[in-house]
Chains A and B, each alone.
Chain A
Amino acid sequence: MSHSQATDKMMVELRDLNKWYGEFHVLKNINLEVKQGEKIVICGPSGSGKSTMIRCINHLEEHQKGDIIVNGIPLNEDIKNIEAIRKEVGMVFQHFNLFPHLTVLENCVLAPIWVKKMPRKQAEAEAMELLERVKIPDQALKYPGQLSGGQQQRVAIARSLCMNPDVMLFDEPTSALDPEMIKEVLDVMIELATEGMTMLCVTHEMGFAKTVADRVIFMDGGQIVEENEPHEFFNNPQHERTQLFLSQILQH
């Protein structure tokens, strides 16, 4: 069990967040505060709105009601704010979403060069350092299609880290991976957690949740149903739906 690295600084705030897809009320009054250095694990059944919620944080999805504030910047119609927030928020997707026409290194330096206007030399040096941290510096000149799923996901993590984000969002980063590759990705995420990164992870890897999470959040039907620190969450779930969900995923 990790002791919390959370500071007092508020990193992500969701206040009365509501979202609709047409008539369908997909997020209902979500309230969540994430402090700098905190690690949040989000779980819940399929279709409960987990992806939608974290995708609202960097405005991949638009919300209709409520406030989102990232590192003090309110997320509103202002393009400037959206751009500023996206610079501070890294995101890792279930299907990696690497750019297949660019090499691993080019994938990593693209955003620093074009968004942060960093000189190419410096961007490449920093990218190589990060590729070393995710343990694939030797693949830098390959194309994503030539790597295994686990390697691709580690590149995707390095690519996000190259922007030097304050918050990392993970949307089921291991659920598209073969079992033998899950560990190599989780190891990288655990290391990142120990270094003090603020993280919001949608994942059903309960081992990971127990190791790094400060809080586990359970969502169902577009709401946060239960929120607790991992030990309590797993051993003493309050809500009936949480108990059902846990019994289902822990059977495996």
Chain B
Amino acid sequence: MKYELQPTLPPPANMIGVIGWLRKNLFNGPVNSIATIVVGYFLISFLVPTIQWIFIDSDWVGDSRDACTSGGACWVFIANRLDQFLYGFYPEAEHWRVQIAFIILIGSIIWLVLPKTPKKGLVATLLLVVYPVVAFFLLYGNAFGLTRVETHLWGGLSLTLVLAVVGIVASLPLGILLALGRQSDMPIVKSVCVIFIEIWRGVPLITVLFMASVMLPLFFPEGMSFDKLLRALIGITLFQSAYMAEVIRGGLQAIPKGQYEAADALGLGYWQKMILIIMPQALKLMIPGIVNTFIALFKDTSLVLIIGLFDVLAIGQAANQDPEWIGYSTESYLFVALLFWMFCFSMSRYSQHLEKALNTGHGNRA
């Protein structure tokens, strides 16, 4: 046989372009084709009216329910209540304080998240150490010429964020200590940590919140009141730290024994070993688990409505009771769901990004 140069041909038309893609992914065989058609039918018959209801037939501007005439979603309701959704009953004249606290928080987080910004360590330290103090005085006031805003006035998305951020920031170090304690050689430390973790993991958050709001005051002397928000925060933090401890323990167990031995052999003390060698490696492995716990916590904060704190969901429910706007609860639930989704989704995306960045950065483990 004689060798002949073969021409390079384009692929057959059914492999490329939209048609090719459809064939390959949606219509490759009779079963798939039927599935595609059935699923497609339901998707379209659900999506079209939903989109129509949300965007096309909806009303956006106005200042009373009379503006909602098109038969679709009445976003006028949300727009009119937006201040409450964001700030709860925080006095309107002081909203700027919440805004500043929020802007500093988001600003520093963006600074930390962007890949090329300098001085991340400093910003992170300021955020963890200085920011809580600043935010407290901004929100609560009663100092530096700021009027006092009692915590029972706090509410809406800002309260949700306070609960989530405090819960997250406080439960991480506590969880680390509990996890280390659980690994400890000292029997007393170990059993205290194990008992603590297992008790908190065994009860639902809702009971914790009830206990914090109903039972805790019974243990305090008459007349001594203890801020309700603070009680909820303590309950959430302790509850969350037990979960965090288990995530962290998982990460610690994944670190090879040789790392501990090398650190010991070099003469590093226990805390030096943990902080310089073990934790940096373990935290990297724990990122997905930690973020999952954060997301769960973020959503769980809405449970505080049962003890009479007005987080963003509770505000939505309260708004639904307003006789002037009765009948628009779908809109408020949808809006609250969207807010929660935005925060949780960003956290989850960022953790995926972090995992990738950390995995490629340092080469293989030795």
- Out of A93, A110, A142, A144, which one reaches B261, CB within 8 Å? A93
Give the A-binding residues of B (Cβ under 8 A).
256, 258-259, 261-269, 272, 276-277, 280-281, 284, 362-366
A86 surroundings in chain B (CB, below 8 A): 264-267
- Could you tell me the distance between the alpha carbons of A176 and B4 in the complex, rounded to whole angstroms? 54
Judging by beta carbons under 8 Å apart, are A60 and B265 in contact? yes
**Nearest CB on A from B15, distance (A):** 41
Interface residues of A in 31-68 (CB under 8 A from B): 58-60
User: In the bound complex, how far is the Cα of B277 from the Cα of A111, in angstroms?
Assistant: 11
5 A-B contacts (beta carbon < 8 Å):
A99-B263, A100-B362, A111-B266, A114-B272, A115-B272
Residue in B264, B272, B281, B366 whose Cβ sees the most chain A Cβ within 10 Å = B366
**Cβ < 8 Å to B, chain A residues 127-145:** 142-145
Chain A residue with the shortest CB-CB distance to B277: A99
Residues of A within 8 A of B265 (CB): 58, 60, 86, 89-91, 93, 160
A96, A111, A152: most-surrounded residue (chain B CB, <10 A): A111
Q: Is A159 an interface residue (CB 8 A)?
A: yes
| A97 pairs with B264, CB closer than 8 A | no
Chain A 104-131 residues near chain B, CB threshold 8 A: 110-111, 114-115
Please state if B284 and A101 are interface contacts (CB–CB under 8 Å).
Answer: yes
Task: Kindly count the residue-residue contacts between A and B in the assembled complex, taking CB atoms under 8 Å apart.
Answer: 78
Q: Are B268 and A143 within 8 A (Cβ)? A: no
Min CB–CB distance B349 → chain A (angstroms): 24
List residues of chain A with CB within 8 A of the CB of B366: 95-98, 100, 144-145, 152
Flag if A145 contacts B266 (CB, 8 Å).
no
Q: How many angstroms between the C-alpha atoms of A83 and B277 in the bound complex?
A: 18
Find chain B residues with CB under 8 A from A159 CB. Answer: 266
Knowing A93-B262, A98-B366, A144-B363 touch, does A110 contact B276 (C-beta < 8 A)?
Answer: yes
Q: Which of B263, B277, B281, B362 contacts A143 (CB 8 A)?
A: B362
CA distance A142 to B363 in the complex (A): 9
Q: How far is the CB of A1 from chain B (nearest CB, A)?
A: 31
Instruction: Kindly list chain A residues whose C-beta atoms are within 8 Å of the C-beta of B272.
Output: 114-115
Residue A154 at the B interface, CB < 8 A? no
* Residue from A95, A101, A110, A146 within 8 A of B281 (CB atoms): A101
Give me 9 other A-B pairs in contact (C-beta within 8 A), A87-B267, A91-B262 excluded.
A60-B261, A83-B267, A90-B265, A97-B256, A97-B262, A100-B365, A115-B269, A142-B363, A152-B366
B261 CB contacts on chain A under 8 angstroms? 60, 93, 97
Q: How far is the CA of A101 from the CA of B277 in the complex (A)?
A: 8
Inter-subunit contact B267/A97 (CB<8 Å): no
Instruction: Chain B residues near A185: list those with CB within 8 A.
Output: none
Choose from B262, B264, B276 the contact partner of A114 (Cβ within 8 Å).
B276
Q: Which of A83, A89, A145 contacts B269 (CB 8 A)?
A: A83
Are A160 and B363 in contact (CB-based, < 8 A)? no
Kindly list chain A residues whose C-beta atoms are within 8 Å of the C-beta of B259. 97, 99
